[in-house]
Amino acid sequence: MKTRVFLVAALMLAALSLSPKTFAADITVSDAWARATPPKAKSAAAYLGLKNNSGEADQLIAVKSAIAKKTQIHRTSMENGIMKMGRVEGIDVPAGGMAMLKPGGHHVMFMGLKQQLKEGSHFPLTLVFAKAGEVTAMVKVMKPGGMGHHHHH
């Protein structure tokens, strides 16, 4: 019974969704956002949630975009009160689990930004997974001081 309710709900959600990737995709991307940047900014960061709908562990291994010379997977870490930010090999997305890219932790780093990120605009970001392959998400540009406090509907 419970499964049936769940299935119906899932089907309704799928039907309602405008995004085709919700259909049976192994990886779902949610709430992809980036902070708006000042006009001449040379860097930016994007954040998002990853949900692995498959029964197999996966890993985000690369990121691609047209908005910057370099698009990389980064992590910010603190050691003895000192902030360090650097590139990481990948981000694990456990089977049936989530991985969150959020301020102060993992993020998609854009270096050599080619365009200003203006509040309210969107840009495509391609995420490459070891198993699920490429998934493209639209990143929403939020206000410059934004923290990504999303309202969940």
Query: How much of the chain is in helix, strand and coil states, percent to nearest 5?
Result: 10, 50, 40
Q: Specify the residue, 44 or 93, whose C-beta has the smaller distance to other proteins.
A: 44
- Six token digits for residue 55: 């029964």
Q: Specify the residue, 22 or 76, whose C-beta has the smaller distance to Cu ion.
A: 76
Please choose, out of 6-14, 54-62, 82-90, 125-133, the segment that lies near other proteins by the rule CB under 8 A.
82-90
Cα angle: 137, vertex 138, 143; to 5 degrees: 135
**Binding other proteins by CB under 8 A: which of 53, 54, 76, 115?**
76
Cα(28)–Cα(22) distance, integer angstroms: 7
- Six token digits for residue 142: 């939020």
How many of the other CB atoms lie within 10 Å of CB of 111?
Answer: 14
Map residues 87-126 to x or -, x wherever contact with other proteins holds by CB under 8 A.
x---------------xx--x-xxxx--------------
Q: Specify the residue, 101 or 135, whose C-beta has the smaller distance to other proteins.
A: 101
Q: Is 85 in the site for Cu ion (CB under 5 A)?
A: yes
* Shortest spacing between CB 119 and other proteins, in angstroms: 10
